[in-house]
Amino acid sequence: MAPIRLGMVGGGKDAFIGAVHRIAARLDGEYALVAGALSSTPEKARDSGLALGLDPARSYGSYHEMAEAEAARADGIQAVSIVTPNHMHAGPAIEFLKRGIHVICDKPLSATMAQAEELAEAVRASKALFILTHNYTGYPMVRQAQAMVAEGALGKIRVVQVEYPQDWLTEAAEQSGDNKQAEWRTDPERSGAGGAIGDIGTHAHNLACFVSGLKVEKLAADLQSFVPGRRVDDNAQMLLRFEGGARGMLWASQVAPGNENGLRLRVYGETGGLEWSQEDPNYLWYTPFGEPKRLLTRGGAGATGAAGAVSRTPGGHPEGYLEGFANIYTGAAAAIRALEAGQKPDLSLLPGIDEGLDGMRFIAACIRSSQADAAWVAL
Amino acid sequence: MAPIRLGMVGGGKDAFIGAVHRIAARLDGEYALVAGALSSTPEKARDSGLALGLDPARSYGSYHEMAEAEAARADGIQAVSIVTPNHMHAGPAIEFLKRGIHVICDKPLSATMAQAEELAEAVRASKALFILTHNYTGYPMVRQAQAMVAEGALGKIRVVQVEYPQDWLTEAAEQSGDNKQAEWRTDPERSGAGGAIGDIGTHAHNLACFVSGLKVEKLAADLQSFVPGRRVDDNAQMLLRFEGGARGMLWASQVAPGNENGLRLRVYGETGGLEWSQEDPNYLWYTPFGEPKRLLTRGGAGATGAAGAVSRTPGGHPEGYLEGFANIYTGAAAAIRALEAGQKPDLSLLPGIDEGLDGMRFIAACIRSSQADAAWVAL
Amino acid sequence: MAPIRLGMVGGGKDAFIGAVHRIAARLDGEYALVAGALSSTPEKARDSGLALGLDPARSYGSYHEMAEAEAARADGIQAVSIVTPNHMHAGPAIEFLKRGIHVICDKPLSATMAQAEELAEAVRASKALFILTHNYTGYPMVRQAQAMVAEGALGKIRVVQVEYPQDWLTEAAEQSGDNKQAEWRTDPERSGAGGAIGDIGTHAHNLACFVSGLKVEKLAADLQSFVPGRRVDDNAQMLLRFEGGARGMLWASQVAPGNENGLRLRVYGETGGLEWSQEDPNYLWYTPFGEPKRLLTRGGAGATGAAGAVSRTPGGHPEGYLEGFANIYTGAAAAIRALEAGQKPDLSLLPGIDEGLDGMRFIAACIRSSQADAAWVAL
Amino acid sequence: MAPIRLGMVGGGKDAFIGAVHRIAARLDGEYALVAGALSSTPEKARDSGLALGLDPARSYGSYHEMAEAEAARADGIQAVSIVTPNHMHAGPAIEFLKRGIHVICDKPLSATMAQAEELAEAVRASKALFILTHNYTGYPMVRQAQAMVAEGALGKIRVVQVEYPQDWLTEAAEQSGDNKQAEWRTDPERSGAGGAIGDIGTHAHNLACFVSGLKVEKLAADLQSFVPGRRVDDNAQMLLRFEGGARGMLWASQVAPGNENGLRLRVYGETGGLEWSQEDPNYLWYTPFGEPKRLLTRGGAGATGAAGAVSRTPGGHPEGYLEGFANIYTGAAAAIRALEAGQKPDLSLLPGIDEGLDGMRFIAACIRSSQADAAWVAL
């Protein structure tokens, strides 16, 4: 089958996540990158396009230009990846959605709730798909966990513990003058009001909800900015109350030395428990209460179709972050192809506008709660 | 040197913690068990005494009787271990302290704050020592961690994450009719108002404070009793604020399938991080920020005098729970011998009445906070 | 830069390694698959070509046909991947090399030493490159280990322990009738005389030599076929003597229940040790003698340029088997581009014909030694 | 029950293993140390006796004196621990056995085969017990493994991999002048002809046989002395052939930086596999072929009576090296009491003279094989 024609907004030189999206799109051969507005600086946009081998005519100076030009081409892009800083998600997304071009957008949804709502409106009004790359839900053993909870392997859920510690902002990296990632991710204008909660807390929140199948109803959050001069939170701790009575905790930190990307989820129910860690993603610990702990492996005897459906290699041949990310892209491709074939796409496991809005509500609730001294706030 | 003559209150047949105290007392040869009031049921007390090889004349039917008789003997006990359920700590402790007999008491301090205060009064009035077995602080690598934080290896502390999940009360074991441990530990009359928070939460709280060197100023706690009919909390989640601005979280649960005795502490400061897990106690992870993670081992190159002072075997020859517990007993023996020699004992690392009162305040604060919907409560 | 035009021999439906090669080729965007002789069954070749989106005119019924036709095209393939069973490596490789088309070939080199030598002759005679996919040397932390040993971080090497246990042939899977992988890999006609030693032992041998920088001079091997009716070895244990006096052991097994793909290497020298495990590939344990063990992470503080040069994501974002495999392909692409630009390619870290011959000598020595009751045999 | 009256030969100041034996004897309250010939230097013997609180009249200057005097006392010792260097095992053991005093002796059995045979003769002639402290077989999860293999959980055994790496002799510690342990353990006069093979290889061999239930029939060993000037082997690698056709490998090293006391056993059979590591002794990995790996924990759901019979604490409360060692002592106590009560003692799990002779044959075979360039040698 011919690859889906893909464009990209953002992701020029020096960008981290743009390169990740490109690999994820390419991994299963489902997309071909054919156009881009890769930087807001036209020269950098052009150079980046050349470096990626884009036809210069399709390496645009702005997303407006790109949206118009591509929509007018018979062989124009079918989908676009948006990998700009958060404040630049909604604008391009709306432009492409308006033109019926599918959007695959980095998270969080936007920098402000107002942008988020405007975007949600555009999604509702468009026939095109909107996919948000909550990529951690693409890991096979996260899918496995989600399926096991849904099938009742743990019984009724009681406790959900999720954490996401990192250490890369332990010092004031944003003041060093040579760390663009740190700069925009700690700048409320570009990142939004949330720091750690927006950048990684939203992933933790999304993962907890995805696997448990439960929504957070209320939270009580204590946010800190430990590093002097930092303008957003760099450590967030909170209590969670889920629908149906389950309780949880969420910790997101960027100042915890010794933690690289420590996203970790534990879910406990009346009859069993599950534990998963992003840095060791091919494994899932499962304990049916009263029996020995079992190490389920991607591809091993304990893994079922849920993991197998998004695996490429046998057990013991580790898949990683890029493969998990690719599973979102490849899942989106299937949905796009279904839609273009006039069929109903299966969006049940794909994060989209609803998850995006949930994330924005999560950020807002954290800030509101913390400002009220960790009072309970409904999402 | 002749072993210290030790008595025991509680710890008869079917008791778990009594046997642990006896091994801990015996391990380094510092104590000889010579007297006991091992059960409140006289027959059981007598049988238990026989089974332990006590002189029948010194196997008493009640702690009152024992206190009086032993105090009157020239070769009477010098110290007594109190290993009864929580509501039976203060009574005997006061009796022995009054008579100048050193007390080594299981935690938490008591079932109620009133008992705790009465006991504190007795400690202040007595020349004898009062040691509370917060045994986890006896682990060599916990001592190592404490020393490293005190010496500034982490810089100013920012974040303290502590958790203590278990799973043995996932079902209503206290209603099974054959689990005495579950019965008294979930009975507010015997255990006190706290369930998980008293039984294990106090350990987690104590450990966090011991290693970080910081006191908890305020907490916001959400307690649950997930198992129908349970009269005390079986899951507790809380936010912590430490003096000096550090923030933390504490999770204690007895309904988390797959966790046996998962006490785990992580401490992060401005320049480094430490991680320790009770089930793997011979190791301590240390990360100086910006350098690779190091695995410090008890007895290995990275361990210093703090660990060495309470170790018996070289690195790679694992010590465990009983050795850590014995370190409290052996430390108490040194203090007792110093005191009896007219010297000032070094109590700096030994948990005593202050830690006991802190624990009782912790329990009370948890309950008060939870009743106020997780409002902040000062300890 | 335009992707390198790639063809593939083998790798049709039901093949495992063909799909891996395709992803590895695609991952960094360095290759475009444009032609194939995907199966020796013409119909299956055609169907597989269609499924992969090949131009039907370039989906060939045999590699002969493909070699001729592609060599004649102006836009013919520049390189070809050979992913057939072992007995079908040398034939096509020679055909393409003869025509100046670069060859990327799965390991082991061939089924027989005669084929291997004929192929080596063709490599010497050709201007084209020959790359053998000893993919495990592509892992970033293997590169890191290799560089550290080369730089003397361990001092003179004394001991090399390597093992590669699997369990997928614990039962007679090749007799089940529905396991093509098991069938050809245990068929001496297709696989060669070696079973486990050829399939995985060669990887272990190659990895040990790559990292230690040493050649095996002699080995004493004990091979078994534990499963009744199996025609090749399924368990191999051997002593190794390296040049310069280092000693080692190698264990390869396909009948060790609980092991999926447990390739693991440990290297010890006069001043330090290294440990690496394929199932946890983003980590490398390093102990300078007399200091605490350090956990070096791909992307972390302890990793150097050697790992960084073949990484795509920051520390904590795990890369896996496919990325390691892709590093061989992408390294080959750089060499091909250098060659085509008239420059000298850097082949220092790329496995090629020499490693292939070493592997064949290894297999032959194992069999010879085992037949002589584990006598020492020079490679 | 009154503790068994115990004497000790060796174990004075500076000794490592003497202190371990004393704790092991004391841990369960089964023994009271009442006499000693703690050093061959009379003054040191006396001082050591005082330090241990022995009655000065029972702190002897030589084991001859002690054997005679204690045998003559009504309250003389019932058993004696022999914790001298290897060349001093047989002499005292024979003296005490002759007098009907039970002997608990450190391993290996002796420094020479001649001594071993003389001792074996004495054991056969005595009514007293002879126990050899192959302490690693006392670990609960080793007992669990042994029982599972015996009950057929793995089916017929095919492969046994055992290793015991350490690093403490990486440099020439015996030449430093301040390491008595290193001195005698590398001195063939005191240690015997084996270095690493005697000190730790015998443990590995014993463990492999204990758990698998199989004897080694033949071995092919390659021994090295990597450290210049070292008089015994410090690295040993060998192939094993067990009765019944199972194959194995054994690696013992004292020059592997990063390994403290890395005894590790893996056993694979037709239907399952087991893995155990001494540094993490409370766990046992069990994989029934075709099912997920299970983590059996001492005290957990998967552990059976075999582990429970030698455990003191519940799951999650780690027991360690000293407890495992104590299990040998406590098992010996039960056997001694049975014997003294005229009953037949259960010696099935207790290492004794047969295991000691097997160990000596193992050492001799290793040396003979290595001298013959790793030829196969029968044990």
The sign of the CA dihedral C86, C87, C90, C95 is negative
Q: Which of B161, B220, B293 is facing A251, going by the closest CB pair?
A: B161
Whether a cis peptide bond, with omega within 30° of 0, leads into B108 is yes
Å from B292 to nearest chain C CA? 5
Average pLDDT over chain C reads 96
The average confidence (pLDDT) of chain A is 96
Residue A66 confidence (pLDDT) above 90 = yes
Please state the rounded mean pLDDT for residues C160-184: 95
Q: Poorest-confidence range of A178-187, B159-168, B223-232, C19-28?
A: A178-187
Residues on chain A bordering chain D, Cβ-to-Cβ distance under 8 angstroms: 286, 290-297, 300-302
pLDDT tens across B102-140, in order?
Answer: 999 999 999 999 999 999 999 999 999 999 999 999 999
Burial (0-12, 13-18, 19+ Cβ within 10 Å), D347? middle
Chain A nearest-CA residue for D295: A293
> Which residues of D fall within a CB distance of 8 Å from B23?
27-28, 312
Distance CA C115, CA C198 (A): 15
Min distance B227 CA to chain D CA atoms (Å): 21
Nearest to B300 among C292, C294, C297 (CB): C292
Residue-wise pLDDT tens digits, D8-36: 999 987 778 999 999 999 999 999 999 99
Q: Residue D318, CB half-sphere, CA atoms under 13 Å: how many?
A: 26
CA A242 – CA A130 distance, rounded (Å): 26
pLDDT above 80: residue C149: yes
Write out the H or E segment, with its range, that includes residue C64. Answer: helix C63-72
Question: How much is the pLDDT for C235?
Answer: 98
Which chains pack against D, by 3+ Cβ pairs within 8 A?
A, B, C
- Residue indicated by tokens 């924005």: A360
What mean pLDDT do residues A220-243 have?
98
Q: What is the mean pLDDT of residues A309-313?
A: 96
- CB-based contact B260 D316, cutoff 8 Å: yes
For the segment A253-275, the average pLDDT, to the nearest whole number, is 98
Q: Which residue of C has its CA nearest to D220?
A: C374
C163 CB neighbours in chain D (<8 A) are: 161
Q: Among all residues of chain B, which has the CA nearest to that of D52?
A: B1
Interface residue ranges in chain B relative to chain A, Cβ cutoff 8 Å: 154, 158-159, 161, 163, 167, 170-171, 220, 222, 224, 226, 235, 237-239, 241, 247-249, 251, 253, 255-259, 266, 268-273, 275, 285-289, 293, 373-374, 376
Tell me: pLDDT of B1 over 80: no
Helices (H), C173-303: 180-185, 188-191, 196, 202-212
> Which backbone phi and psi does C261 adopt, to 5 degrees?
-155, 60
Residue C40, pLDDT > 80, answer yes
Yes or no, beta carbons of D220 and C226 under 8 Å apart: no
Longest dimension (CA), chain D: 64
Both tokens of residue B327? 């370190």
Return all residues near C151 (Cβ < 8 A) that are at least 6 apart.
none
C224 → chain D, closest CA residue: D247
**Sorting pLDDT into bands at 50, 70 and 90, what band is A41?**
confident
Q: What is the arithmetic mean of pLDDT over C144-171?
A: 98
Which pLDDT score is estimated for A93? 98
What pLDDT is attached to residue B42?
84
Which of C154, C277, C289, C377 is best to mutate for the D interface (most D CBs within 10 A)?
C289
Which of C226, C255, C272 is closest, CB to CB, to D257? C272
Q: Which of A249, A266, A268 sits opposite B249 (nearest CB)?
A: A249
**C170 and D270 in contact by Cβ < 8 A?**
yes
Domain definitions of chain A by residue range: 4-128, 140-313+358-378
Those residues whose C-beta lies under 8 Å from the C-beta of residue B357, and which sit 6 or more positions away, are B109, B116, B117, B120
Q: What is the pLDDT of residue A40?
A: 86
Provide the CATH number for the domain formed by A4-128 in this structure. Answer: 3.40.50.720
Nearby residues of C63 by Cβ (< 8 Å), 6 or more positions away: C9, C37, C91, C92, C95, C96
Q: What are phi and psi of D7, to 5 degrees?
A: -110, 170
Would the CB atoms of D2 and B279 count as touching at under 8 Å? Answer: no
Bridge-based pairing state of the strands C293-297 and D235-242: unpaired
Q: What pLDDT score was predicted for residue D207? A: 98
Q: Kindly report the nearest CA distance between residue A270 and chain B, in angstroms.
A: 7
Q: If you measure CA to CA, which chain C residue comes closest to A282? A: C279
Chain D contacts of B280, Cβ < 8 Å?
A: 280, 318
CA angle centred on A116, ends A110 and A117, rounded to 5°: 170
Q: What's the angle, vertex CA C44, arms to CA C39 and CA C46, rounded to 5?
A: 90
Distance between A289 CA and the closest CA of chain D, angstroms: 9
Distance CA A330, CA A138 (A): 10
Q: Which chains share 3+ C-beta pairs under 8 angstroms with A?
A: B, C, D
Six token digits for residue A213: 């199948």
**What pLDDT shows up at residue A302?**
84
**Spatial contact of A158 and A266, defined as CB atoms under 8 Å apart:** no
pLDDT grade for C303, boundaries at 50, 70 and 90: confident
A287 vs B171, B247, B257: nearest CB: B257
List pLDDT tens digits, range B264-312. Answer: 999 999 999 999 999 999 999 999 999 999 999 999 988 889 999 999 9
pLDDT by position in tens, chain D (length 379): 789 999 999 998 777 899 999 999 999 999 999 999 999 888 888 899 999 999 999 999 999 999 999 999 999 999 999 999 999 999 999 999 999 999 999 999 999 999 999 999 999 999 999 999 999 999 999 999 999 999 999 999 999 999 999 999 999 999 999 998 999 999 999 999 999 999 999 999 999 999 999 999 999 999 999 999 999 999 999 999 999 999 999 999 999 999 999 999 999 999 999 999 999 999 999 999 999 999 999 999 888 899 999 999 999 999 999 999 999 999 999 999 999 999 999 999 999 999 999 999 999 999 999 999 999 999 9
Q: How many CA atoms lie within 13 A of A163 on its CB side?
A: 24
Check A289 against B259: CB less than 8 A apart.
no
Kindly report the CATH number that applies to the domain delimited by B139-310+358-378: 3.30.360.10
CATH of domain C139-313+358-378: 3.30.360.10
Q: What is the pLDDT of residue B262?
A: 98
Reported confidence tier of residue A16, pLDDT bands at 50, 70, 90: confident
Name the minimum distance, in Å, from the CA of C270 to any CA of chain B.
17
User: Phi-psi category of D25—alpha, beta or left, where left has phi over 0 and alpha has psi -120 to 50?
Assistant: alpha
User: Residue A1 — very low, low, confident or very high, per pLDDT cuts 50/70/90?
Assistant: confident
CB atoms A319 and C317 under 8 Å: no
Q: What pLDDT shows up at residue B84?
A: 95
- Which chains does C contact via 3+ CB–CB distances below 8 A? A, B, D
**Block residue for tokens 């083998």:** C10
Average of per-residue pLDDT across C287-309: 94
Q: Where are the alpha helices (DSSP H) in chain D?
A: 17-27, 42-51, 63-72, 90-98, 113-125, 140-150, 180-185, 188-191, 196, 202-212, 305-308, 321-340, 353-371
Cβ within 8 Å, pair B316-D281: no
Decide if D293 and A290 are in contact by the 8 Å CB cutoff: no
Q: How confident is the model at residue B182 (pLDDT cuts 50, 70, 90)?
A: very high
Report the residue of chain C nearest B289, measured CA to CA.
C301
Judged by average pLDDT, the poorest of A39-43, B149-153, B361-365, D198-202 is A39-43
The pLDDT, as a whole number, for residue D42 is 84
Q: Amino acid letter at B225?
A: S
Mean pLDDT, residues B214-223: 98
Q: Which two tokens stand for residue A185?
A: 């991710």
Q: Do C239 and D238 touch (CB under 8 A)?
A: yes
Residue contact C266–D256, C-beta within 8 A: yes
- Residue D27 near residue D329, CB atoms below 8 Å: yes
Q: Beta strand C293-297 with C377-378: parallel, antiparallel or unpaired?
A: unpaired
Task: Tell me the chain A residues in contact with residue B286 when contact means C-beta distances shorter than 8 Å.
Answer: 258
Q: Which of C255, C366, C373 to mutate to test the interface with D (most CBs of D within 10 A)?
A: C255
Q: Is there a contact between B29 and D16 if contact means CB atoms under 8 Å apart?
A: no
Query: Which residues in chain B touch residue A256, judged by CB atoms under 8 angstroms apart?
Result: 159, 266, 268, 273
**Nearest residue, CB atoms, A260 vs list C20, C29, C300:** C300
| Rounded distance between C-alpha atoms, residue C255 and residue C239, angstroms | 20
Whole-number pLDDT of residue C13? 78
Interchain proximity B287–A249, CB inside 8 Å:
no
Q: How many residues can be counted in chain A?
A: 379
Give the minimum alpha-carbon distance from A149 to chain B in angstroms, rounded to a whole number: 14
Mind telling me how many Å the CA of C215 is from chain D's nearest CA?
A: 18
Q: How many degrees, rounded to 5, is the angle at CA A156 between CA A152 and CA A159? A: 120
pLDDT at residue number C302: 84
| Residue B158 reports pLDDT greater than 80 | yes
Which pLDDT tens digit goes with each residue over A138-182?
Answer: 999 999 999 999 999 999 999 999 999 999 999 999 999 999 889
Summarize pLDDT for B14-69 with one digit per residue, the tens.
Answer: 778 999 999 999 999 999 999 999 998 888 888 999 999 999 999 999 999 999 99
Asked if residues A106 and A130 have their Cβ atoms less than 8 Å apart, the reply is no
What is the pLDDT, as a whole number, of residue B192?
A: 93
How far, in Å, CA of A189 to CA of A177, rounded?
A: 18
CATH class for the region spanning A140-313+358-378 = alpha beta
